[in-house]
Amino acid sequence: KLRLMYAYPNRFPWELTRLLREHPRVLRYLDIPVQHVATPVLRAMKRAGSGDQVRAILDRLREEVPGITLRTTLLLGFPGETDEDAAAAVEFVHTYGIGRLGAFAYSPEEGTSSFELGGRVDERVAKQRVAAVLAARDAVLAAAQRARIGATLEVLVDESHATRVVGRPDSDAPEVDLIATIEGSRAKVGERVRAVVVDVDAEHNLICREAP
């Protein structure tokens, strides 16, 4: 099955939503890095659109593709970012239930246009803002993953061990998202296995058993 990664939000080809919704070989998953949701920060980054437009894009995606998993990226500590801007990013993660998320602190690079911008954020403050966003993500993940206990899902096997296999449901991309362990399974790598979620580990990964 195909997974769509790194779609630019303000140039998203909306005809793809039908493909995401209807094609049996395309997963209902989209990586769409918004970078920020505070309009002043987006403008400083020279990104098209506003915070409201970012939210409207995600609203439309969820309306047109029910059950879609959205992954995004946020950059904290960009020059000129205020405490209010950073708080808006945290609120966005909570409000939109963003559990698949990468968050990074801005790092000044000589020769880039942002290097000359005023209002540089202290490195320690930027890291604190990243930590706050990741804490919000983890709270979302903890609730969402525990809500899946008892559910039956399909897992693509990535690793096969003596007493278990490790893989991913459709909601998780390799390397950047979460995993699912199926205890007692002897499935082979590349197989898809129906599994029942029985628990969640400390890192919010699913613990499963094969479905009867």
User: Do 172 and 203 touch, CB atoms closer than 8 A?
Assistant: no
- The answer to whether residues 104 and 174 belong to one domain is no
- The answer to whether residues 128 and 61 belong to one domain is yes
- The answer to whether residues 103 and 192 belong to one domain is no
CATH code for the domain in which residue 75 is found: 3.30.750.200
Given a cut of 90, whether residue 11 has pLDDT beyond it is no
What is the reported pLDDT for 90?
A: 98
- The answer to whether residues 96 and 196 belong to one domain is no
Residues 6 or more apart whose Cβ sits within 8 Å of residue 81: 36, 38, 41, 44, 106, 119, 121, 129
- The answer to whether residues 16 and 75 belong to one domain is yes
What is the reported pLDDT for 113?
A: 81
Helix H or strand E encompassing 142: helix 123-146
What is the reported pLDDT for 118?
A: 83
165-174 per-position pLDDT tens digit: 999 999 999 9
- Domain extent, residue 203, equals 152-210
What is the reported pLDDT for 30?
A: 98
pTM: 0.91
- The answer to whether residues 8 and 104 belong to one domain is yes
- The answer to whether residues 184 and 140 belong to one domain is no
- The answer to whether residues 124 and 180 belong to one domain is no
What is the reported pLDDT for 115?
A: 81
33-70 per-position pLDDT tens digit: 999 999 999 999 999 889 999 999 999 999 999 999 99
CB neighbours of residue 45 within 10 Å: 19
Domain count across the chain: 2
- The answer to whether residues 141 and 179 belong to one domain is no
Round to whole Å and give the CA distance between 78 and 93: 18
Which long-range contacts does 39-47 make (Cβ < 8 Å, 24+ apart)? 40/80, 40/82, 40/85, 41/78, 41/80, 41/81, 41/85, 44/78, 44/79, 44/80, 44/81, 44/114, 44/117, 45/75, 45/78, 45/114, 46/113, 47/10
Given a cut of 90, whether residue 10 has pLDDT beyond it is no
CATH code for the domain in which residue 173 is found: 2.40.50.140
Mean per-residue pLDDT, 131-140: 98
116-130 per-position pLDDT tens digit: 788 899 999 999 999
Q: Of the residues 95, 119, 146, which one is the last residue of a structural domain?
A: 146
- The answer to whether residues 83 and 109 belong to one domain is yes
Residues 6 or more apart whose Cβ sits within 8 Å of residue 136: 90, 93, 94
DSSP letter (8 states) at residue 191:
-
Tell the burial category of 36 from Cβ atoms under 10 Å away from its Cβ (0-12, 13-18, 19+): buried
Given a cut of 90, whether residue 79 has pLDDT beyond it is yes
- The answer to whether residues 128 and 191 belong to one domain is no
Tell the burial category of 207 from Cβ atoms under 10 Å away from its Cβ (0-12, 13-18, 19+): middle
Q: Which structure tokens are listed for 83?
A: 């405490």
- The answer to whether residues 26 and 122 belong to one domain is yes
